[in-house]
Amino acid sequence: MNLADILRGSFALAHQRAGLILLDIVWKAVWGVLAVATLFLAILWFSSGLQAIEWEDTGLSALNGLIATALLQEFWNAKRIELIATIFAALSLAGALWVFLEAFFRRMIVSAVCGRPKSTDLSIGLRTPAYPFNVFLASSVSKNIVLCAGVALVAALAWLGAATVGIVTLCAALFLLTLFDTLIRADAVDLMGTDLIRVAGLLGILMSFESMVAASFVTILFAAFLNTAGQAEALVVLMAAAVAAVLLTLLHSYLLLVRFSAITIMRRDVVEV
């Protein structure tokens, strides 16, 4: 079976399990709501401290601005450690929640698509989870750590004047990371030894397509933002950016399902051979 046949079959399998795309969207929406709520509560807690500060209105907007700036500076000097710690704790909580939800729901999705049959007969539909939850959790933690380290490396190289090298390095690291993560989660590590070329080609095609779509959206939105002439146009651009983010999230979930469906087909092809 060539790569074109695998892609055709993986898209067909993904269409049969369209509900899993919705499941992947739902957990991301839940995370977004909880993350925003956490940050809002942190901001609300500190804003209550600002509201407790009393000062007299001088009637002059410029003088009021200077007084407000001085009060904010004083508040920052007194509370900066608590503020930084609170923001760090909120972001850490949001990150930990992302890792947990991603591992929990992606395990359900991958198990539904790639779970090995209980029988050696591949025509039987009974499936068992490919891996326990702790493997998905460890994979999610490792992936996010490597991703953060890669972004930090790119920032360091860009600061040193080697941004191109950093971007190329990050792209290569993301490709390898996606390759290993996909095969581990799909319980198909054996494909690295039996069918590595086709697996790499498949992931390269899907990731290149997703990257080109994302780059097109970013380019269009950036050009639109540079040509905004007022608040109304800026608001329209922000709304368009929100719609683009939703569409890119939907595309990512869809191609994720296609990716694991393709791994299932490739593993079946190897077993049949």
Mean pLDDT of 195-218: 91
The pLDDT mean for the chain works out to 81
Domain that holds residue 232: 3-272
Any idea which residue has 């979930």 for tokens?
253
Q: How many CA atoms lie within 13 A of 143 on its CB side?
A: 24
Q: Which two tokens stand for residue 272?
A: 């049949």
% residues pLDDT > 70 (the chain): 83
- Band the pLDDT of 273: cuts 50, 70, 90: very low
Write the CB contacts of 14 (distance below 8 Å, at least 6 apart in sequence). 21, 254, 257, 258, 261
- The better pLDDT of the pair 265, 67 is held by 265
pLDDT tens profile 162-203: 778 878 888 888 898 899 989 888 888 888 888 888 899 999
The pairs formed by 224-229 with CB atoms below 8 angstroms and a separation of 24 or more are none
- The better pLDDT of the pair 39, 136 is held by 136
- Band the pLDDT of 5: cuts 50, 70, 90: confident
pLDDT tens profile 144-167: 888 888 888 888 887 887 778 878
pLDDT tens profile 97-132: 999 999 999 998 988 887 654 444 444 344 444 467
Sign of CA dihedral 7, 9, 12, 18: negative
Distance of alpha carbon 75 from the chain centroid: 35
Q: Please give the Cα distance from 146 to 210 (Å, whole number).
A: 21
Identity of the residue numbered 91: L
Tell me what percent of the chain is helix, strand and coil, each rounded to the nearest 5. 85, 0, 15
β-sheet bridge partners, residue 127: 117
Into how many domains does the chain fold? 1
